Amino acid sequence: MDMLVEAGSYVPPPPEASPPAEAGEAGEPGDAPASSGPAGASTWDGSMPPRPIPRPALTVSSGMPAEAQMKAIAYMAAMGQPRFDDANADADYAASLAAQLKPILMSMDKGAAEEKLRLDRVEVVGSGRRIDLLMADGCDARTPQLVAVGRAGLSFITLLSHGVLVVRCNDAHVQCLQSTRDPSDVLCTTAPRHH
């Protein structure tokens, strides 16, 4: 079997032909190279880019070097990227979940009443891949877990089985992303949301 040569490097041919990538399957910066998979499914192999800060640190602040900021962007994008073995996104479940979480979010928001009425909402992103908890004040590294698991009585396994990969909170000071694949994987950035 002939070998391909690209830009002077030796590249063996793929073991089997993979279907052409569908629109929207392009990887985010920091994603691992795609592998073959069933049509319509994610072809990402699940490799995470380097964490911008070592654990147990959780927050990348605006005063950190640009390299850490870029790593945070890539890491957060990879947290919500479906892998080949993830359940399909369940838009109906996500919509029901958003309605269930809205009053819980309102009760946990520490902002002024008028700000809560104006800003508090739960949004479904990517057909349910990410659930956004938008609030006036009170987002921290524990908020996504407290809302979804502590108050709503859900488990990360249940969320993951319905295709929810990330629960994110965002207020005027910070955003925090909680992985459902790895409950210990939380990353925050000092990034106030736009009103």
pLDDT exceeds 90 at position 110: yes
Summarize pLDDT for 116-153 with one digit per residue, the tens.
888 999 999 999 999 999 999 999 999 999 999 999 99
Assign 47 a pLDDT band (cuts: 50, 70, 90): confident
Assign 28 a pLDDT band (cuts: 50, 70, 90): very low
pLDDT exceeds 50 at position 112: yes
Beta strands 59-60 and 9-11 are unpaired
Summarize pLDDT for 159-186 with one digit per residue, the tens.
999 999 999 999 999 999 999 999 999 9
Instruction: Measure the CA–CA gap between 56 and 71, rounded to whole angstroms.
Output: 16
The full set of domain ranges for the chain reads: 1-195
The predicted pLDDT at position 184 comes to 94
pLDDT exceeds 80 at position 20: no
Structure pTM? Answer: 0.75
Interior/surface letters 149-162, b for 16+ CB within 10 angstroms, e for the rest: bebbebebebbeeb
Residue 156's identity, in one-letter code, is F
Q: Hunting for tokens 């890491």 — which residue is that? A: 75
Tokens for 185, please give them: 């994987």
The predicted pLDDT at position 67 comes to 94
Lowest average pLDDT, out of 17-21, 59-63, 119-123, 131-135, goes to 17-21
